[in-house]
Chains A and B, each alone.
Chain A
């Protein structure tokens, strides 16, 4: 009972915030300030009230990260009337996300259904010549909604498989990644940089409950898809010149690794939360950084046409480099910690699959560094004017960097209740160890 009351209280804060924003709708700056303040209140309330919530095995980390993600995504957006709608929607999405993560049972399913419905509605409305309507993306979210209803109304194993499908739509796994890609490229304003944290967090929340119940053949299928997805994402990312697609493929590759570890171990530990949180925040930060470029040089700017920003936009260059390092998986950022935690607490289900995972991990260093190097270094364009980050943009990117560092160095005891190690005897597959 206490859990339901606290969940309602936590979810109501962002919704109230959305309503408050409507009351000051005519002033863009007020809307932005209200939205930021409400995300901060939401964070404070989550921290204060989390002891009264039933702790799930992934811990409260994702619940804390959601208001922070909403805050930085709004903060990183320039103040303009065209962005008001996205800010209000961010609060609505935050309320739905908190409801899904904190509640159990029907309420969570309903909130997830509303979330899918809202995204479908937004995607059918928002598209452009550069990013045309994607029926595949909308269809995948529709499938997610159907899977959510099915999982609520049926018994295992059908409900388990339906839940896996819904999770695969949220925490992207091939072949259901189109929805995630469409959301990342077509949603308006700051929403992509928030969605990239919200959806994987919700997907992981579902996966945590599912993994112990996965039938063996489903787990094997997921492992196969995950290995393919890790490699596919890396290969496609290597060939991308458009920044948002590069980030989408990069995160697909990294999230696929998580799917592999989860399916191989049959349990999702708190390291998964660190990994998902860090990958999401790193990607969100890079999207915000790209937003800063788009604000200055237009939505359809070619990344290869802008170069030499290191000397003209030094603050931007430093923060972008740090976020790139985070996504590349270098220490002391959270992606590295999460990946190491997953590697050392999961069994080697297949050495060849592990080899592919490590290959995809290596490729991240290649394509992310290549993209960042093109932007920051080389000859600067004399025909372009350069303006370094505004205060709010700087604050948002700095927050992202600090969060991914915090995720990397966070004491293990705070992460969650079920950090377990596997004994060497858990090693399986074609490796034959004779002791």
Chain B
């Protein structure tokens, strides 16, 4: 019963893909509609699996003997715990919505059968990946996903698309090879690739690796760093992010699947291997740096793009940066919470963006311009109320809430940073609303306060409940936070710097939004323009890759030419 339930979820998606592909062209529409039923059934089975796992514990079954070394290459087995079950519900849910949407969206498109089948096939691969029983099976489907990304972003006769698809695949293979090296190292160190066994042996192992005389890193750090590079590729982290904006020629539903499902693979990988990553503070710090860099650069590049799909693409890169940064802070469950929320949000946005573009083409007044005269009205009472509401009250509420929810605020840097971000984002929302509606400050402030209370309390409650669901052992959660701790001086400096720049930024924005002039040195404008151009061109990273590729090819041809002189064939 349990086995058929777990197997049924991915296999029904595969069945749907086969239904679309196999059969005459004239019956494609009927077959495409018929395939929606097994997909819907798969979603129901995923929910049933989640219930079963939540009530009865993890489901495990293997089609191989884990003790046999002969079963390395193709070890098909499933391990569905709460993390896998949650991911299965998310993937099958999003997959069902996207497939149903695509039936009409791709109607009469010449490539419809291919895309519909690929959506089913990709969801099948994703489901198998998240329910893998061992690192090898995860890697197996991880690689297939790399190729599927290549053909999903594919339009046979469009040169730009082909170029982008090729780069996507080669870049993803680069990170796949790092992943492979991580697997090899893990196997040599711990002698197994089975998740539970691997975690136990890694916890017992004290192996260190001497790369240079006097420079030693732990075995867990070496393994997790390599695996993290593997995750960086799929989750479009800096500097491996360029494949994502290059794949924007694909049909919109494909983007919805890509941005809501596939790109979360990095976050899932870290969560799946949380006990291993929890043993390596160095890797978590690297993840924090990479994630923060990606979040900042992705969000900044998003602001300067003039194409809706590229804007959404860079928004995803920024969000993936946040997700990896959360992992780097030791907040693994929060990263899963984030990827679910982002997945649902981004799938909705992508499925709607076609309609928005369509409407914008038909209606020259759309989107509507803001009412600037209302914004420019300035009242000192509004300003001070808004300022206090924005900055001080959220902090007070959060501190009180921590007391109620018993989060070890002062003992965990990760918790402080997460709360800091909650404060930043929620206050940002309040600021935006205050800026838009500057009149009736007391009513607005009261509404803000109530909304804020509601949102933050629900959010904190949801996060805490989700953490308890995903990681029922609080000691484990505390351990991950502890592993991610930064040196105190660095932590204080970062927090102080971030708070100061945020408050100054808000002050500047608030005053400018309400018609007040803010003095700035003249050179700032010049720098701002230069930065704008730089970020609009995506830091010229793509061009740098292009030049490096051309240089490498020239070098290879030169070597080939020289080699022809002495090599006979």
Contact = CB atoms under 8 A, between A and B. Distances in A.
Interface of A: 134-137, 178, 181-182, 185, 232, 235-236, 238-240, 245, 248, 271, 274, 308, 310-311, 325, 330-332, 336-338, 340-341, 343-345, 348, 354-355, 358-359, 361-362, 365-366, 369-370, 373, 376-380, 408-409, 412-413, 415, 419-421, 423-424, 427, 431-435
A424 B189 contact: yes
A137 B559 CA distance: 22
Nearest to A178: B568
Interface residues of B, number: 51
A331 B138 CA distance: 11
B210 A432 contact: yes
Nearest to A334: B73
A331 B180 CA distance: 13
Contacts of B69: 344-345, 419-421
Interface in B420-437: none
Given A137-B568, A373-B162, A424-B189, A434 B70 contact: no
Nearest to B206: A435
B3 interface: no
A432 B209 contact: yes
A198 to B, nearest CB: 20
B557 interface: yes
Which among B70, B72, B150, B207 has the greatest number of chain A C-beta atoms within 10 A? B70
Contacts, number: 144
A236 B190 CA distance: 37
A282 B188 CA distance: 29
Interface in B547-569: 553, 556-557, 559-560, 563, 567-569
Contacts of B72: 340-341, 344-345, 412
Given A134-B568, A136-B568, A325 B70 contact: no
A361 B187 CA distance: 19
Nearest to A358: B177
B181 A370 contact: no
A185 B206 CA distance: 53
Contacts of B169: 365, 369
Interface string B177-211: 10011001001111100000000000001111110
A312 B462 CA distance: 54
Contacts of A435: 205-207
B241 interface: no
Nearest to B141: A331
Given A245-B569, A373-B162, A420-B69, 19 more contacts: A136-B569, A185-B569, A236-B563, A331-B143, A331-B144, A336-B73, A336-B140, A341-B73, A358-B181, A362-B177, A369-B170, A377-B162, A378-B157, A412-B68, A412-B71, A431-B210, A432-B209, A432-B210, A433-B189
A341 B184 CA distance: 11
A338 B219 contact: no
10 contacts: A134-B568, A135-B568, A236-B560, A236-B563, A239-B553, A240-B560, A378-B162, A419-B69, A432-B210, A434-B207
B159 interface: yes
B174 A362 contact: yes
Contact of A348 (B150, B188, B206): B188
B74 A365 contact: no
Contacts of A248: 569
Nearest to A185: B569
Contacts of B141: 331
Contact of A337 (B73, B144, B147, B180): B73
Nearest to B73: A337
B249 interface: no
